[in-house]
């Protein structure tokens, strides 16, 4: 059975901590990117999400949103992650996820370049 609670590290060294997952599948935590691999201006940022009922499936799907906290408070960014938690034959849990990053844009004309 795959449980999201705990500390996770990505292939690039980013760190995610998920606090206890509630009975309804909701969870919160924090996400910290690697300063060397990204922008050192990004601080540990809060995340909120939801996990599929692990009573129904052993390898649940999940989603969460990260509201990025920057040293420069004028920057507004959010990311959405969607993925699945897998349990390997050795019992090791791994997360596979896709993400989208959105920045605030000044006008509808700039909308197309605000999402990565």
Q: Which fold has domain 6-110?
A: Lipocalin (2.40.128)
The whole-number average pLDDT for the span 34-48 is 74
pTM (2 d.p.): 0.85
Boundaries of every domain in the chain: 6-110
> Among residues of the chain, what percentage have pLDDT more than 90?
53
The whole-number average pLDDT for the span 45-68 is 91
Q: What are the CA-CA distances from residue 56 to residues 2, 15, 20, 60 (Å)? A: 12, 28, 18, 8
Q: Inform me whether the pLDDT recorded for 36 exceeds 50.
A: no
- Label each residue of 35-56 as H, E or C: CCCCCCCEECEEEEEEECCCCC
pLDDT in tens, 72-96: 777 789 999 999 999 999 989 999 9
């Amino acid at each position: 059975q795959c449980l999201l609670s705990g500390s996770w590290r990505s292939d690039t060294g980013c760190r995610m901590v998920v606090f206890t997952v509630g009975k309804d599948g909701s969870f919160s935590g924090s996400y910290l990117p690697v300063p060397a691999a990204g922008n050192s201006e990004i601080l540990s940022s809060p995340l909120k999400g939801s996990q599929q009922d692990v009573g129904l499936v052993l390898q649940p799907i999940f989603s969460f949103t990260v509201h990025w906290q920057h040293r420069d408070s004028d920057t507004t960014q959010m990311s959405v992650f969607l993925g699945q938690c897998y349990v390997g034959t050795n019992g090791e849990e791994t997360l596979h996820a896709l993400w989208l990053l959105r920045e605030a844009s000044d006008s509808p004309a700039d909308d197309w370049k605000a999402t990565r």
